[in-house]
Every structure is written in C-alpha cells, then in structure tokens.
C-alpha cells in the first residue's frame, strides 16, 4: 500500500505541500508574533508561499498566467515591504518600540 514513488518522484503535491507549510509558518508568524518587523517578514513568507503554488500550477498546467501573476505578487510584496518598513521606521523613531502590543490604542 505504501507508495515509494511519493518520495522519489517530485510532483505537484509536493510543491503544494511546501507552499502550504510555508504559508502556515507565515500565518503563525502574523498571528502570534509581537514584533512588527517579524510580522512584516512573515507576510513576505506567506506571499512567497503563494508564489510557489502559482509557479507550480503554472508549470503543471502548462499555462503562463501563473508565472505572470508571480511578478505582480512580487511587485506588491516589494511595495508593501517598502511602505510597511517605512511606517515601522518612523514609528520606531517616534516611540522607540516595534512591539505591536505597545500600540493597542483602539481596544474596545
């Protein structure tokens, strides 16, 4: 019953597994970490996890749209990182703090 091919032959499933593992890591980082920089990095991780699945699908379905999509995602990720880091830098300058618990001002 045990399929040994699963280890020797790399297929779509493996890419997707990697992608979801990365995504979960990223999401856990976003949900659990307190440091804003780490959260931003985790977001990058999630985006890149998505990129992997795009590329994998694109390859296995022989369509180019997925790879084009990756460029968009990377652009957005870059823009987001730039803006996010800029905000974090100015916040850090102002408050000397990057822990997001420190900024819970809107608590109901």
Partner 1 sequence: MNHPLLIAVLILAPLIGFLINGLRYQKNSANLSGILATSAAVLSFFVSVILVSEIFSLPQESRKIVVQFFEWIHVDSFRVNFGFLLDPLNSIMILIITGVGSLIHLFSIGYMSHDHGAAKYFAYLNLFLFNMLILVLADNLLVMFVGWEGVGLCSYLLIGFWFKDSQKAAAGMKAFVTNRVGDAAFLLGIFILFLTFGTVQFSDLVAMAPSVAEVSWWGPITLGTLFLFVGATGKSAQIPLYVWLPDAMAGPTPVSALIHAATMVTAGVYMIIRLNPLFLAAPNTMAVIAVIGVLTAVVAACIGLLQNDIKKILAYSTVSQLGYMFLACGVGAFGAALFHLMTHAFFKALMFLGSGSVIHAMHEEQDVRKMGGLKKYLPITHATFFIGWLAIIGMPPFAGFFSKDEILGMSFQSPYGNAAFWALGVFGAILTAFYMTRLMALTFWGKARFSDKLHPHESPWTMTLPLCVLAFLSAVGGWIGIPHVIGELLPGHPENFLEKFLEHSILPILDLPKAMPTMEYLLMGTSVLLAALSAYFAYTMYLLKPEWPKKLADKFRPLHELVSNKFYVDEIYESSLIQPLIQLSKNIWLYVDVNLIDKTTYVVSDLTKGCGGFVRILQNGNAQTYATYISIGIVLILSILLMR
Stretch that binds partner 1, among 4-12, 26-34, 45-53, 70-78 (CB under 8 A): 26-34
Beta bridge partners of 99: 35
Helices (H) and strands (E) in the chain, counts: 4, 0
Binds partner 1 by CB under 8 A, chosen from 30, 41, 77, 91: 30
Encoding tokens for residue 60?
Answer: 């296995």
Encoding tokens for residue 79?
Answer: 């823009």
- The nearest distance, CB 75 to partner 1, in angstroms, is 24
**Distance separating the N- and C-terminal Cα atoms of the chain:** 55
- Closer of 67 and 91 to partner 1 (Cβ): 91
The interface with partner 1 within residues 46-105 (CB under 8 A) comprises 100, 104
Strand, helix or coil for residue 97: coil
Binds partner 1 by CB under 8 A, chosen from 5, 9, 93, 108: 108
Interface positions with partner 1 (CB under 8 A): 27, 30-32, 100, 104, 106-108
């Amino acid at each position: 019953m045990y399929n040994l091919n699963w280890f020797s032959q790399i297929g779509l499933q493996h890419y997707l597994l990697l992608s979801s593992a990365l995504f979960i890591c990223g999401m856990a980082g976003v949900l659990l970490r307190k440091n804003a920089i780490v959260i931003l990095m985790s977001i990058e991780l999630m985006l890149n996890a998505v990129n992997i699945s795009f590329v994998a699908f694109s390859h296995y379905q022989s369509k180019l749209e997925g790879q084009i999509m990756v460029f968009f995602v990377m652009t957005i990720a870059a823009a987001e990182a730039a803006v996010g880091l800029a905000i974090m830098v100015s916040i850090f300058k102002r408050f000397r703090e990057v822990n997001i618990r420190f900024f819970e001002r809107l608590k109901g």
